[in-house]
A and B are shown apart, each in its own frame.
Chain A
Amino acid sequence: MAEPLVRLTDLKKSYGNFEAVKGIDLEIAAGEFIAIMGPSGCGKTTTLRMLAGLEAPSGGEIFIGGERMNDVPAHERDTPMVWQSLALFPFLSVRENVEFGLKMRGLPKRERRERVAVWLERLGLEGFEKRRVDALSGGQRQRVALARSLVTEPKMLFLDEPLSALDAHLVIRMQGVLSKLQKDLGITFVYVTHSQSEAFAMADRVVIMGHGEIVQTGRPKDIFRAPRNRFVAEFVGRNNIFAGTVAGGVINVDGTQLPLPGAADGPAEIVVAADRMTVSLERPNTAALEAEFVSEEFVGTAIICYFEGPGGEELKAQVTERELELLAPEPGKHFFLSWEPDAPHVMAVTS
C-alpha cells in the first residue's frame, strides 16, 4: 500500500494533568476530504494544531508525506490553515493578505502578483485587490481566507470550523464552494467541525472524536447507519437508542420484546435511525413500542416527531407531512412505533 499523506501514530497531547489527546492513530490519504468532528473539548482542534505545528505533541509521531514532522516548526511545514476567526490581517489589503504566504517564501513581486490575481479570480474576488479586509462581507472574507491559504498550492488544507461564523444560507453556499474546490484541486482537506451537517455534506470520511480519542472512523453514511456506540449515535443525532437484553434473537426493552435476529445473547444497545421508524395509530402485526407523543419539529421537507417511550426515553421518528395529517398527533396521544427487522444496528455497549 502506498504511504498515506498523513500518518499519526499514538499521538498524544497533555496540558498538565489534562489529557487533551490520548494517543490517536490515523491515516489520511492524498486527495481525501476528511472531517474530524466531535463535541467541544474532544481534542479535534488540538489534533489539527499539532498537525500544523502550532502545538508540540506530548507523545507519538506525526508523518506527513513519509517525513517525521514532530520537530519541524510551523513555518517550515506546508500545512496552511483556514481559521475559525479567519485571522485575516486587518492592516493589509485583500491582495496583501493573499500575497503573504508567497512573500514569506521569497517569491519575486511579479510572480506574486500573477498568482494572487489567478486565485482572486478563481474565488470571485477580482476587483477587490485594494480593499481593506474589514470592508468585506462575511462570505467575501471567507473566500479571501481560502485564497490566502491556497495561493501557495499546498498538498493539503486544514480548516478549523471555518463556517461557524456565517449565516445559515451562506454556510450551505460555502459548503458547495469548498466541495467543488477540493474536487477541482484534488488536494487533501482536513476539516474540523462540531457540525454534523457540514461534515456529512462534504466529507469522504468522518472521524468522530470524544474525550481525546477517536471513537469511530468511516464514511458519513456508515457512521449514520451503524454508529459504533451510544456516544456516536447521540452525537450524530436523530437516532433512537435502546438498551436491553438479548435472548434468542429477541431483545427485551423495558418489557417489550422486539425481534433482533442474529444478535448474540446478553446486554445490548441498539440504534434505529429516525427515518426507519414507522408510526401507526393501531398496534401493527409486528412487534412495536407504545409511546406517547410529545412534540414535532419541521426539518426541511420532513417532520421529526418526538415521543416518550415506555421507559421514559426520548424517541424520534421521521414522518412526511401527509403522514402527520393522518396521525393527527397531540401531546399525550399514544402511538405505536415499529421498524423493519433490518433497521436496528447493534452497538458496542459502553460501560
Chain B
Amino acid sequence: MRRTGGAEADGAGRGGVLLYLAIVFAFVFAPIITSMIFSFNSDRFPTVPLGEFTTHWYETAFSRPEVWEAMQNSLIVALTAATLSTALGFATAYTDYRYNFRFKSAYIALALLPPTIPLVIMGLAMLAWLARLGISGTLTGIIIAHTVMAAPFAMAICRLRLSQMDPALEAAAWNLGASQWRAMRSVVVPFCLPAIVSAFCLTAAVSFDEFVVAWFVSGLNKTVPVVILEILQGNVDPQINAIGTFVFLTSMTLVVVAQLLITRRRKA
C-alpha cells in the first residue's frame, strides 16, 4: 500500500525533476542552438521569421584564408598542448600516488593552482614572460601557456583513476618479474588508459576553446577563438555562427568522449 502511494508521489516528483532539468538545459543550450540555427539561415541579420536554408555562411567562412590558418594553428596548439599537459598531469598524479615526501601537500596544491588564477592575470604574466624568452607571438608560446593551464585538469583525472587502483597491482607486477619501468608500461599505464585518453580529450578541448590567454600571446599566429573575435569586431556576420557551430561541436565531441571514458563502468 505504502509502496503504491510512494510510487505515485515519486511519479509526481520525477515529473517535477524532469521539467526542472528541461528548463535548465534550455537555458544553457538556447543561445548555442539559436546560433546553430542562424548559421543555416539565409538572412543577413538574425531575425524571425527565418529565411531559407543555406550553407552559404559555411562556404564563405571557410573560404577565408585567415580562418583556415587559425584552424590549423588551433589544431597544432590543441594537440601539442594536450599531449604535453596529459604527460605532465599523469606524471604528477603518479608521484602523488606512489611517493610520500615532505611538502607533498604543498606540491599538490601548487600543481593544481593554475586554473584558479584569473585569466587576464595569466594572460598578462604569460605575455611578459614569453616576450622575455623571445617566443611571444609564436605557436610555441601559446602551446606553453595552454599546457600550463590544462595540465591540472589532466592531473585531476589521472589522480581519480589512480585512486581506484589497488596498490597491490603494481607490486604484483614487480613480484612477477617486471622492473619498475616495465610495470609502469604494462600495468599502471594500461590501468589508467581510459583516464589518459580522457585527459587528452579534455585538455585538447580546453586549449581549443581558450581565448583570453591566446589573445594575449598569439600575436600574428591567431587561434580560432581569436579570429572569431576579430571578425565580430568588424560587423555582425552569420559566418560567426558557422565557425561557432564548428568550434562548439569539436569541443563538445572531445568533452563527451572524455566524460564517457571517465564514467564508463566495466560490465561485470
Which residues of A come within 8 Å of B, CB atoms?
Answer: 52-54, 73-76, 79-81, 83-85, 87, 89-92, 100-101, 104-105, 132, 134-135, 148-149, 152
Contacts and interface: CB of A to CB of B under 8 A. Distances in A.
7 contacts: A54-B174, A87-B171, A89-B172, A89-B191, A100-B176, A104-B176, A152-B176
A52 B172 CA distance: 10
B172 A81 contact: yes
Given A80-B175, A152-B176, 11 more contacts: A54-B175, A73-B174, A74-B171, A74-B174, A75-B183, A85-B168, A90-B266, A100-B173, A101-B177, A134-B266, A135-B268
B166 A85 contact: yes
Contact of A87 (B168, B179, B182, B186): B168
A213 B166 CA distance: 29
B13 interface: no
A80 B171 CA distance: 11
B172 A83 contact: yes
Interface of B: 166, 168-169, 171-180, 182-183, 186-187, 190-191, 193, 266, 268
B175 A104 contact: no
A134 B268 contact: yes
A75 B178 contact: yes
Which of A52, A100, A149 neighbours the largest number of chain B CB atoms within 10 Å of its CB?
A100
Contacts of A149: 176
B178 A104 contact: yes
Contacts of B171: 54, 74, 83, 87
A84 B182 contact: no
Contacts of A54: 171, 174-175
A155 to B, nearest CB: 15
Contacts of A80: 175-176
Contacts of B177: 75-76, 101, 104-105, 152
Contact of B182 (A85, A92, A104, A134): A104
Contacts of B191: 89-91
Contact of A89 (B174, B175, B187): B187
Given A75-B177, A101-B177, A105-B177, A87 B266 contact: no
Given A90-B266, A91-B190, A134-B266, A75 B174 contact: yes
Contacts of B175: 52, 54, 74-75, 79-81
Contacts of B168: 83-85, 87
A91 B186 CA distance: 10
